[in-house]
Amino acid sequence: MNRSFIARVCIVFSLVIGMLAGRATLGMSAEPRLDTATIERLTGNKGEFNEQEGVFTVRAPRTDLDVHVAGAQLTPSLGLTSWAAFQQTKDETMVMGDMVLLEDQINPVMSVALENGLAVTALHNHFVWDTPRVMFMHIRGMGEAVTLASAVGKVFSAIRDTNHDTDRVPRTDIRPAQTSLQSKVIEDILGVKGQLTSGVYKVTIGRTTQMDGHEVGKTMGVNTWAAFAGNDEQAIVDGDVAMLESELQPVLKALRHAGINIVAIHNHMTMEAPRIVFLHYWGVGSTRDLARGIKAALDTQHHS
């Protein structure tokens, strides 16, 4: 093998390597990378980048909590860490996360998330027998990375600011046996007639979906309901809203705007079409204000 042949092979090899490197560089530049330093600054928390998935996750351990489950002490590593994960898509940034909240923090923190453009996608427990009770609020967002990071930072700040703020709990000593509210006020506002039983006035509105090829509706549990007790000046309402996935955020915003507290967001079924999400709520106030708040939420829906 002469030297000129070896030289030609080396030249060709170098050209191929250069072309591959150039393509790799172009490929990398075509995929925008997250500004992780800015995300850390805006969220107020350090993060970690997963190179394989292209995801940057910031974490906020709830080291301020002393939570026990059936006597066992929980630490942040056992599930008491709030987090938010950022991923760059072709045109936008996506964020998903889970916030660790005491019961009295749920609604003020949720309002901050909604007011800053984040979607709240679930609210539920991860434990039973926990003291104090801990709930988990899942969030999602799409848009500019800076806008999302700023919104997540405000959520983290709200968690710190509302820690152990028990003054936010809507306490009342209403007893259903002493109910004296005027049911017609509720009927006129909601446009639905209900039934008074044992001091509780309840209205129920049906929805429909399909399961296993069969239509299921109101009596099978696919329904929105509201139950009132108390008097016209001071009443309580609790209930459940059955909604399409696309209706969840408008319903949340309407109820929170009315001062009605969200206590759970989850599914009651699987494999149904269309998918139905259920939202449980609790409110304290005048009968008229509570009914108006629920009516505003109902008005965001397209009933089927």
Lookup: tokens for 31: 């995929």
Residue 60 CB neighbour total at 10 angstroms? 22
**For position 5, what pLDDT does the model report?**
56
Query: What is the model's pTM?
Result: 0.86
> What's the CA gap between 190 and 294, in Å, rounded?
8
> What's the CA gap between 13 and 230, in Å, rounded?
85
> What's the CA gap between 96 and 89, in Å, rounded?
13
**For position 32, what pLDDT does the model report?**
64
Closest CA to 237 of 169, 299, 176, 298: 176
Pairing of strands 261-266, 81-88: unpaired
| 276 exposure class (CB count in 10 Å sphere: 0-12, 13-18, 19+) | buried
Domains and CATH numbers, the chain: 36-168 (3.30.70), 176-298 (no CATH)
Residues in the chain, pLDDT under 50: 12, 16, 22-30, 304
Strand residues in the chain grouped as ranges (E): 47-50, 55-61, 68-69, 72-73, 81-88, 93-102, 119-124, 130-131, 134-143, 195-197, 200-206, 209-211, 214-216, 223-230, 235-244, 261-266, 276-285
